[in-house]
């Protein structure tokens, strides 16, 4: 007989612990249900209502603050204490006063985070380029709206945008601000939500207006021809990379480099840095420079100090005698945040959904939204004029017999009957009758009524024109273009961030000049230690010192300017320059590469090579009998990347590697004692680094490849016995005479 289920068997289990005499109930809940019911609503709230900006370029906190200041008559009025604004904003913003004041600080002219500040501030509002400079409390500072905010609120009272209830339902607030220009591209904005983020860089207002006008005229307009590059509030020099900027414009994601502006004072032998990248701070720069000076990597600096004052930012670097300022700044640009990357992630809320968009998509969405906003404004104006026309038509009826209208009103005994009697007497509706009834006694004359009724024809023409505008996208676009031209004329300012086009050749020339070129000998041990020794030092002491259990592995003759590729057991390749290593002696252990190159924990260096001009190939031999021939150019990068993942295949352990400049014969030996000799010309080169290669040796299940090395480096006497006619092949057992005594390892 089946057991009958208890009625509450499927319900969550309730536990009643009795701890220290206190009773409590704990309800068990599946983690998936917790995420769905508790975490997902929170995540969506952060994304939609807090961290991600919308098409007007504002987050809700910005919009609530600015609208509150607009309602407080702070557009064109006198400044008021910031504390007053913060207090009033709390009626719309359900967050604390500190969060609201932080929002105001970021929008302020004093802080300098925006190309066109929206809050005209007075007092200490800190600085965007300083990490440690604190702004004054809200009770000490004053603020009002900047004049450009007139473009944010233009015609907001003419049904251009929707209004919703605030959090307690007692006030109304706009869902968006009817900006007359694409503020979303002009005002820089950052936000971190749950599972996503947004990072909008600013563009020059004049360029944005020109681009939007050109886009409205031709949707296929070349954006980059008018929108040259981002423009940052802190200035600096943008290192122009057409491919990187094109990717940002197309996808909305990417990064570009910005470097500081500086000048050299020859009389005092010092450098003054007066503009820095938007993404860094003066404190971060000084900390890094101090670190490099203490480590002995920069020896040309005598002192560095922050001389920022009311006139603006200034970092002063005192130079030692004989220092070349251009070479020093080139070194600082490579090693400090004086040259920094600015990331872009154009993630914007469109109809409540986050979307990462390129510049063209943003302009499409903004123009579509703005056209609807202007259409609503024109429709609202048309409605008001229609109401006025309706009233004037009623007034024109009265003109036919004013005396009769007066008689109707005078003969009506009850006040409530005046309107119905006028409606019956002149055939007008209630609205018209009320308008007539409310006319003052002194205005009941033919001159006044004639003047008013003469407006009818002009109103009818205006209404017809507005109706045509409402139904004509072309005319609405013309209105938007005219407004954009007006905004550019009134508020556009010259670019703050200069664009540098020839920076690559300039940097390469300086770097090439300052790196000394001289011959060196390299010694790479089995445990991953590298020594760089000059020929003179090597002649003085040629016996190499190694750690206990370590020994020689690879050695080369090279130049101090050469690059070094280091391959690890995690299928990664680290690229470095020999000039980054100090000259040393044979009597020291050398640099431990995992530490020197900041490798991952427990990652080890297994092979290295000098790539030279990146011609030739790399041969990889794996213990499963496969060999891969990869073009060395696959490891050459245009950028200064120091780490490449996926340097070789991870399908089987690596046994040997070899830098191949010209084809030769290789010997592959297995743990069974078999050997295969083949010519490397039979291996086709691949451009894919992670290629698994081809089988060169057929292995029995319990055997693996033990070593692989050039035939000339082996003791094999009778090579014909092991030479393969076709690959793969099992190979022949090594004869005693061909084995030799030498230990063979990675090459």
What is the Cα–Cα distance from 559 to 534, expressed in whole angstroms?
A: 10
What is the Cα–Cα distance from 376 to 287, expressed in whole angstroms?
A: 54
Phi, psi of 366, deg, nearest 5: -65, -45
What is the Cα–Cα distance from 365 to 350, expressed in whole angstroms?
A: 8
Find the farthest-apart pair of alpha carbons in the chain and give their distance in angstroms, rounded.
140
611-615 own/partner pairs: CB under 8 Å, 24+ apart: 611/563, 611/565, 611/635, 611/636, 612/562, 615/661
What is the Cα–Cα distance from 529 to 543, expressed in whole angstroms?
A: 16
CB 245 within 8 A of CB 261: no
Closest CA to 533 of 581, 583, 578, 580: 583
* Catalytic-labelled residue, pool 140, 501, 518, 614: 140
CA 75 centroid distance within chain: 32
Pairing of strands 552-559, 519-525: antiparallel
703 is catalytic: no
What is the Cα–Cα distance from 66 to 62, expressed in whole angstroms?
A: 6
Q: Token pair for residue 286?
A: 């000084």
DSSP-based three-state secondary structure for 708 = strand
705-710 sheet: strands from edge to edge: 705-710, 665-670, 674-679, 732-733
552-559 sheet: strands from edge to edge: 552-559, 519-525, 529-533, 591-592
34-37 own/partner pairs: CB under 8 Å, 24+ apart: none
Q: Hey, which residues does 669 pair with through a beta bridge?
A: 675, 707
Alpha helical stretches, state H, 181-280: 183-186, 205-217, 223-226, 242-251
Cα distances (angstroms) measured from residue 478 to each of 44, 186, 214: 38, 21, 12
- Indicate the angle between helix axes 242-251 and 359-399, nearest 10 degrees: 50
Q: What DSSP string runs through 263-286? A: EEETTTTEEEEEE--TT--HHHHH
What is the Cα–Cα distance from 245 to 654, expressed in whole angstroms?
A: 40
Residues 6+ apart with CB under 8 A from 511: 330, 334
Alpha helical stretches, state H, 304-358: 325-335
CB 190 within 8 A of CB 232: no
Q: Token pair for residue 341?
A: 């990357």
Q: Token pair for residue 201?
A: 């860089």
What is the Cα–Cα distance from 413 to 552, expressed in whole angstroms?
A: 122
In b/e form, how buried is each residue of 609-638, taking b as 16+ CB within 10 angstroms?
bbbeeeebbbbbbbbbbbbbbbbbebbeee
What is the Cα–Cα distance from 453 to 729, expressed in whole angstroms?
A: 107
What is the Cα–Cα distance from 415 to 418, expressed in whole angstroms?
A: 6
Closest CA to 178 of 267, 55, 270: 55
What is the Cα–Cα distance from 408 to 414, expressed in whole angstroms?
A: 11
CB 300 within 8 A of CB 323: yes
Give the residue numbers annotated as catalytic, written as ranges.
140
């Amino acid at each position: 007989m089946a057991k009958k289920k208890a009625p509450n068997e499927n319900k969550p289990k309730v536990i009643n612990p009795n701890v220290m005499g206190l009773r409590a109930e704990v309800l068990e809940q599946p983690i998936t249900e917790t995420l769905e019911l508790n975490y997902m609503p929170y995540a969506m709230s952060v994304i939609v209502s807090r961290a991600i900006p919308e098409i007007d370029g504002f987050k809700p906190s910005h919009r609530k603050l600015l609208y509150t200041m607009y309602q407080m008559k702070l557009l064109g009025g006198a400044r008021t204490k910031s504390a007053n604004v913060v207090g009033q904003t709390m009626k719309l913003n359900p967050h604390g006063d500190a969060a609201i004041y932080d929002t105001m600080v970021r929008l302020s002219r004093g802080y300098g985070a925006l190309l066109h500040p929206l809050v005209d501030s007075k007092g200490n509002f800190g600085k965007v380029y300083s990490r440690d400079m604190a702004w004054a409390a809200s009770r000490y500072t004053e603020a009002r709206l900047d004049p450009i905010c007139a473009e944010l609120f233009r015609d907001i009272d003419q049904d251009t945008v929707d209004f919703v209830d605030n959090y307690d339902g007692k006030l109304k607030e706009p869902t968006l601000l009817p900006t007359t220009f694409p503020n979303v591209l002009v005002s820089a904005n950052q936000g971190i939500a749950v599972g996503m983020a947004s990072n909008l860089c600013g563009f020059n207002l004049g360029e944005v207006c020109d681009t939007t006008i050109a886009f409205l005229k031709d949707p296929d307009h070349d954006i980059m021809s008018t929108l040259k590059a981002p423009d940052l509030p802190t200035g600096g020099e943008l290192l122009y990379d057409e491919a990187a900027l094109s990717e940002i414009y197309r996808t909305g994601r990417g990064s570009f480099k910005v470097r500081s502006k500086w000048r050299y004072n020859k009389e005092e032998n010092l450098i003054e840095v007066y503009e820095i990248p938007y993404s860094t701070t003066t404190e971060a720069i000084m900390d890094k420079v101090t670190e490099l000076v203490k480590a002995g990597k920069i020896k040309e600096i005598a002192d560095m100090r922050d001389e920022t004052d009311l006139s603006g930012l200034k970092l002063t670097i005192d130079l030692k005698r004989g220092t070349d300022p251009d070479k020093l700044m080139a070194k600082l640009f490579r090693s400090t945040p004086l040259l920094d990357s600015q990331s872009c992630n154009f993630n914007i809320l469109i109809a409540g959904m986050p979307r990462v968009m390129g510049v063209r998509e943003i302009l499409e969405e903004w123009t579509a939204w703005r056209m609807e906003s202007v259409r609503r404004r024109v429709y609202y104006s048309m409605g008001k004029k229609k109401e006025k026309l309706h009233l004037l038509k009623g007034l024109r009826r009265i003109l036919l017999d004013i005396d009769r209208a007066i008689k109707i009103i005078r003969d009506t005994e009850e006040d409530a009957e005046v309107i119905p009697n006028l409606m019956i007497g002149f055939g007008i509706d209630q609205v018209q009758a009320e308008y007539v009834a409310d006319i003052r006694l002194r205005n009941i004359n033919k001159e006044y009524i004639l003047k008013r009724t003469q407006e009818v024809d002009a109103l009818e023409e205006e209404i017809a024109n507005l109706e045509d505008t409402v139904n004509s996208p072309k005319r609405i676009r013309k209105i938007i273009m005219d407004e954009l031209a007006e905004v550019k004329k009134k508020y556009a300012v010259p670019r703050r961030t200069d664009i540098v086009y020839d920076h690559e050749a300039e940097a390469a020339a300086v770097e090439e000049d300052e790196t000394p070129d001289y011959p060196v000998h390299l010694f790479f041990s089995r445990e991953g230690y590298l020594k760089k020794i000059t020929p003179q030092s090597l002649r003085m002491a040629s016996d190499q010192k190694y750690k206990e259990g370590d020994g020689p592995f690879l050695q080369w003759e090279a130049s101090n300017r050469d690059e070094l590729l280091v391959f690890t057991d995690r299928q990664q390749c680290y690229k470095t320059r020999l000039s980054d290593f100090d000259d040393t002696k044979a009597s020291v252990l050398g640099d431990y590469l995992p530490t020197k190159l900041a490798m991952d924990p427990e990652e080890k260096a297994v092979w290295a090579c000098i790539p030279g001009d990146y011609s030739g190939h790399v041969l990889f031999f794996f213990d499963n009998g496969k060999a891969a021939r990869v073009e060395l150019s696959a490891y050459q990068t245009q950028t200064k990347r120091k780490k490449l993942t996926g340097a070789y295949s991870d399908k089987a352990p690596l046994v040997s590697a070899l830098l191949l400049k010209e084809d030769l014969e290789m010997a592959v030996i297995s743990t069974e004692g078999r050997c295969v000799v083949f010519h490397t010309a039979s291996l086709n080169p691949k451009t894919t680094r992670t290629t698994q290669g081809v089988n060169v040796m057929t292995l029995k299940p319990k055997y693996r490849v033990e070593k692989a090395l050039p035939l000339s480096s082996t003791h094999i006497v009778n090579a014909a016995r092991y030479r393969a006619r076709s690959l793969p092949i099992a190979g022949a057992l090594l004869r005693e005479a061909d084995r030799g005594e030498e230990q063979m390892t990675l090459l």
